[in-house]
Amino acid sequence: MYSVSVRDHFMIAHSFTGPVFGPAQRLHGATYVVDVEFRRPALDADGIVVDIGRALETVHAILGALNFQNLDEVEEFKGRNTTTEFLARIVFDRVVAAIHRGDLGEQARGIQIVKVTLHESHVAWAGFEGPVNATA
């Protein structure tokens, strides 16, 4: 399986509900470094997994919609704990939607797996990966 990864970051504020979160139940900030990995079993006709420039632009736009947001105030996330794991799935879903829309080019439709990793610090990270053509 071939792979290409791109990296960007975004900054948010949020709080959590539930005693398991301790002091993180209060409003706090996070800066996530985000890696998005694209995988496919064979290279496309140009000999690449995905156009890196288009991948960078797409990921930047997806993260830009979250950047500098207080996630507690985003209607889509009301009543949810916007944990690192939860946000990894949100980014994954938006990347997969971009592939289906053709934002990464027609040949990017050959990508079979996307893996998203959100690094919340140099010692802790979480992620989500799955097939591009799943209906979950």
pLDDT higher than threshold 90 for residue 135? no
What's the confidence (pLDDT) of residue 136?
A: 44
Residue-range domain boundaries for the chain: 2-131
DSSP E strands in 15-112: the ranges are: 28-40, 69-70
Structure tokens at 58: 């797409």
What's the confidence (pLDDT) of residue 130?
A: 97
pLDDT band, very low/low/confident/very high, at 11 (cuts 50, 70, 90): very high
pTM score, two decimals? Answer: 0.94
What's the confidence (pLDDT) of residue 27?
A: 96
Fold of 2-131: Tetrahydropterin Synthase; Chain A (3.30.479)
Average pLDDT (8-19) is 98
Rg of the chain in Å (alpha carbons): 16
Q: For the residues of 86-121, what is the DSSP string, one character each?
A: HHHHHHHHHHHHHHHHTTT-GGGGG--EEEEEEESS
Average pLDDT (21-47) is 96
pLDDT band, very low/low/confident/very high, at 36 (cuts 50, 70, 90): very high
What's the confidence (pLDDT) of residue 134?
A: 62
Give the tens place of pLDDT for each residue, 46-102: 999 999 999 999 999 999 999 999 999 999 999 999 999 999 999 999 999 999 999
Give the tens place of pLDDT for each residue, 107-119: 999 999 999 999 9
Q: In degrees, to the nearest 5, what angle opens at C-alpha 95 toward C-alphas 59 and 32? A: 50
Average pLDDT (10-19) is 97
Structure tokens at 135: 């209906």
Identify whether the C-beta of residue 37 lies closer than 8 Å to the C-beta of residue 52.
Answer: no
Write phi, then psi, for 33 (nearest 5 degrees).
-90, 125
User: Residue 47 and residue 25: Cα distance in Å, rounded?
Assistant: 48
